[in-house]
Amino acid sequence: MNEKGQTLVLFLFLLPLILFLFLSFYDMGTRALEKRKMEKTIEEILEYGLNNLGEENLSETLANRFLQEFPTMNERDIEIEISDTIHITVFKRYTRSLLKNQTLELSYEGEIINGKVQIVKE
């Protein structure tokens, strides 16, 4: 008996599942890379901000530096609080992906202790 037709039908039934799994892995990998890039950028911005605490419009400068790296985001996605410490929170909303309506929230705080920059991920 010829089973080529049965194999083709089975493959056609499984193809959407295989594609969904492949695209899900790709989507998760892309998000992980973007999250790591955001973490690195926030750490660099915190270090810059802590070394320039007396600067005028520091909050705006820090936000602009972040937005240069991530031009698809806007100012309302970034919260910056400056006192003796700097606290940065970034919200990234994913609307065009397989796992819709998810939000990534990164929150970092930095301060200078004994002349050294200390950064804490919250």
pLDDT one-digit tens code per residue, 36-90: 999 999 999 999 999 988 888 999 999 999 999 999 898 999 999 998 899 999 9
Predicted model pTM: 0.81
- The whole-angstrom separation of Cα 101 and Cα 36 is 20
Inter-residue contact 47 to 83 (CB < 8 Å): no
* DSSP reduced 3-state for 74: coil
- The whole-angstrom separation of Cα 21 and Cα 10 is 17
Which pLDDT tens digit goes with each residue over 9-29? 888 999 999 999 998 899 889
Inter-residue contact 80 to 63 (CB < 8 Å): yes
Q: Indicate the helix (H) or strand (E) that contains 103.
A: strand 102-113
- Domain-by-domain residue ranges, the chain? 36-121
